[in-house]
Structure 1
């Protein structure tokens, strides 16, 4: 069994080279930037781990071999060093719903596959599930704002329904960037 790559960079009891850590991050970690303007004003040479542009809600990968595609701010963004970052296509076989409005969220029986909680004004959120018997597919609830540690997301099933085998269990997303996928039980009595 091979160790995690980060364990080869950060070794217990051994001083860590800043250059080694920077190299690891650039090679493997996707960094988050606010918008295309921030990308254009940042030197990102060697950022092989890619970037995430929050305003576009999409990942972009470095295309080191491209020197000609123009920057359109949507599909290709050029950084301060002249590197081109290309939009990673989103899997269109799953549907998403972005929640930015305040208040509780109600998931309907025919709602999107993924419900992303990314409220404009940060706040704790309650997500009300539909009756399990009415939903035919799983639903993934995601902390899209990355603040669930402070603003918990509480998932509330219908009264009397089981979640992970326990009646009226209320899952809570309380870690930044956390998510949970709930699949309706075949007998319609709840979720797992």
Structure 2
């Protein structure tokens, strides 16, 4: 519509319509602005919330990282302690093995010494028995020597007595022979029987 050609009433209506439209648009713009502001506020709240969550998450992450680092340190310390404990156990096992080997050597040495001591005791007992046997033999030998000495003395005395008896017998026989010889010169020759009888008697006496 051309404003110059229109009537005043129509112009008013047209202006009013424009004003209404502008008012509505302004209202809509205000609403849109309010909505945008609300959305911005909501966005800001959401951003703050997200920022808070992010900070909380970072703090939680830091705490979790610290906790995990603590665990890692504890695990490392535990592993180190485990290694030290393993080394101590290995050292103890080595010492135990060496002690067992030493005990086995000492046991073998003690058994050897016990065997040697037993053998020495047996040798000592054998030597003691031998000494006792020699002592008994020596005593028996002394007794036998004394007995032999006594027998020798008795034998010597008997031999002296026999020698004396033989001497006496020889003297007596010599005297008798001399006497018989003198009688034989004076008397006749004896008979054969008397000669044999005298010879037999002489043999018995000798």
TM-score by length of 1: 0.16
Question: Which structure's residues are more often strand, by fraction?
Answer: 1
TM-score by length of 2: 0.15
Question: Which structure's residues are more often helix, by fraction?
Answer: 2
- Which of the two has higher C-alpha Rg? 2
The higher-RCO structure (CA 8 Å, 6+ apart) is 2
